Structure 1
């Protein structure tokens, strides 16, 4: 069962390696803080940092990021639920399609060479950056869908978010939140809380699929999880005291700069064959 694999992860000796856990901890703190400041999951920051500083492959970074998403989604959803800003029915409608496509996304990721996966991740960062910049200008729909028609966008947005989650190691909130606000008619905070809850099962399925392919960097999980939880909490506290416009603009610039590096990724040249001439 996918739900049991996290509890049964093999405990490596490196879990008790303080240099390993400390390097993972600061990455988790930074990813969580940035995510908490702008209301996004930490995956879009954690994946590039793990690739750059922990020297993980893109596939390993994606797999390990999804474990973080499980924990941040649980804690974040619980926080929103205590304030009554989680639509449980909407989350339940998102679950099935998101879980199904998260498995597909993870499988598809493992069929891609690393340079192609990095390019896809880079374009996703561009989309996230643009969504942050344009967020204040998105019109609110006065007459959202009613009744059973609300099921359609929830199922489709769950499918899209789940595939992106399994493929890229992100929560998918950039996809689900706008749809829930624009078409389903949820308030912004309720959409965010519902999105956090909805991303947990898909991230669990996606991380399990990657785990079966041997991509999970288990040694870094403890530090990353602790770091991102603390960082997200701290970022959320500070966010209300900082100007939202400059937060979004700064974060968007960082994302676009990172995206340009990923989009420009090229395949590694094939090694030259040894000459057979004497």
Structure 2
């Protein structure tokens, strides 16, 4: 892939990871400082409560591991899985669930993203370009989340989840066909794509072929990164997944700082969540390129549809008192 051989590309990648590392270090120091200040309160917790907290932390660790695994397969941060689970099973407020999950997303993105770079699947040039808009979006989105009533967040989440699910189901046959007839490379790049040299290639281990593609930036970057890149920007699904994973590192770190400063982060659940998502993401990123495109899309669509229904169900219950099965 040309952008991996370019010395300038390597400098951009190194600079990007330095920013991520500094952000995470700053956040970690803040967490440690807060933990020290609250240590006197922890000492007063009785044994029964401590045992209960330990059980919850183990459960969160297991859930986070699964979320990290499927998140790495789908190019998601894992938060799309963690948030519904934390709200429905652990009865956390949606603002708390979002804040906790976004910190876990930082961990899973770094572990999964680095693996995809090593496998030469990630389009780093595309990721850096899209980050100029998605980082700003992450900042504004985090502020909006803190302001907006939680019951409306459930509905918004479900609408996007349903859209992504149906879009991926609709494009299953088209993706496989485009790979077989080299459809990703037989298009003319637009001016921006040509200037940034967003074209590339990767070796699909499952199909045993080299897939070349030409990136198109007909629309802006994505709030729904994987679907936007795959469906509208002529990026193969596996490359979209890997590139999304790389991008999430930066956007999640931006949101995490805002949530932490606002005081909605549950520090007792952050550690098991981060550890679990890291383990899951490491495993998931190692097997993603061995999956058939068809099954990746089906799994992605099923997960998004299920989670969309779960969030819609809770949103309707909170707003209208309507209980769905």
Q: What band does the TM-score fall into relative to the shorter chain?
A: 0.7 to 0.9
Q: 1:250 to 1:178 in 2, by over 3 A?
A: closer
SS, match of residue 34 in structure 1: helix
| Length, aligned pairs only | 255
Matched, 1:6 2:28: yes
> TM-score, normalized by length of structure 1?
0.76
* Structure-1 residue corresponding to 2:128: 92
* Structure-1 residue corresponding to 2:101: 65
Which one has a bigger Cα radius of gyration? 2
Matched, 1:129 2:173: no
What is the CA deviation profile of residues 49-71 of structure 1, one whole-angstrom value per residue up to 9, with x for unaligned ones? Answer: 11122221111111111112111
Q: Measure how far apart 1:30 and its partner are.
A: 2.1
Q: 1:106 to 1:126 in 2, by over 3 A?
A: same
Q: Measure how far apart 1:73 and its partner are.
A: 1.4
Give yes or no for contact 2:142–2:258 (8 Å, CA) kept in 1. yes
Q: Measure how far apart 1:130 and its partner are.
A: 1.7
Matched, 1:109 2:145: yes
What is the CA deviation profile of residues 142-184 of structure 1, one whole-angstrom value per residue up to 9, with x for unaligned ones? Answer: 3142442566939821xx42xxxxxxxxxx43345326xx53x
Gaps of 5+ in 2: 1-21, 43-49, 197-215
Gaps of 5+ in 1: 162-171, 271-278
- Measure, in 2, the Cα distance between the counterparts of 1:255 and 1:186: 20
Q: Measure how far apart 1:128 and its partner are.
A: 2.6
Matched, 1:52 2:88: yes
Match of 2:250 among 175, 193, 201: 201
- Measure, in 1, the Cα distance between the counterparts of 2:303 and 2:252: 25
Q: 1:44 to 1:216 in 2, by over 3 A?
A: same
> TM-score, normalized by length of structure 2?
0.67
Give yes or no for contact 2:102–2:252 (8 Å, CA) kept in 1. yes
Q: How does 1:1-278 map to 2 (within 5 A)?
A: 2-3=23-24, 4-9=26-31, 10-11=34-35, 18-136=54-172, 137-138=174-175, 140=183, 142-149=186-193, 153=217, 156-157=220-221, 160-161=222-223, 172-178=224-230, 182-183=232-233, 186-236=235-285, 245=294, 248-249=297-298, 252-264=301-313, 265-266=315-316, 267=318
- Measure, in 2, the Cα distance between the counterparts of 1:91 and 1:237: 20
The alignment yields a C-alpha RMSD, in angstroms, of 3.3
Q: Measure how far apart 1:217 and its partner are.
A: 1.7
